[in-house]
Homo-oligomer: A and B are copies of this chain.
């Protein structure tokens, strides 16, 4: 038994999401989050670089999983096919996570510009990681960047659909449909 309650980071995360849902992101002070978690604001900032990050740290895992999948894709696969493999891996990630939680989180993020900004830069970081990995596969610029960006475009559209109300299909199913549409659009 430690000197403190264990799992401070998760307590902070839980407290934050609760409060964001109850009274909104802007109205929630870091001090209030920390208090609900039985800690102080100073400690909050030891776990999270800033107030927004409490909703986003963990994205490195998704990124790593997608980079791994991209690396392991068949050497003969085209750039877009390799990206598709990475998107499929993201699907496993999301369908494992419970969709109701993702919906709540998305709602909180959508309601606040600062949080939207943070989400966007996470996606950009992901795109850059995918670009680097494609280049390691021998894909030249600007193809690597374009394929990665197009993949993220599909990701964004599919994710928005996946969390939307009354959507029942799994993430992978939506991704595949979106990819097919993109191929068609580009060909027209």
Contacts and interface: CB of A to CB of B under 8 A. Distances in A.
B150 A152 contact: no
Question: Would you call the interface of chain A mostly helix, strand, loop, or mixed?
Answer: helix
Contacts of A118: 117
Contact of A149 (B146, B156, B187): B156
A185 B143 CA distance: 7
Interface string A117-128: 110110010000
Contacts of A178: 142, 146
A183 interface: yes
A9 to B, nearest CB: 22
Contacts of A78: 185, 188
A37 interface: no
Q: Which 6 A-B pairs have the closest CB atoms?
A: A149-B153, A186-B186, A117-B117, A78-B188, A120-B120, A145-B157
Nearest to A114: B117
Given A117-B121, A120-B120, A142-B177, 19 more contacts: A78-B185, A79-B185, A80-B186, A80-B188, A81-B188, A143-B185, A145-B157, A146-B154, A146-B178, A146-B181, A147-B185, A149-B153, A149-B156, A149-B157, A150-B153, A152-B153, A153-B153, A182-B186, A186-B187
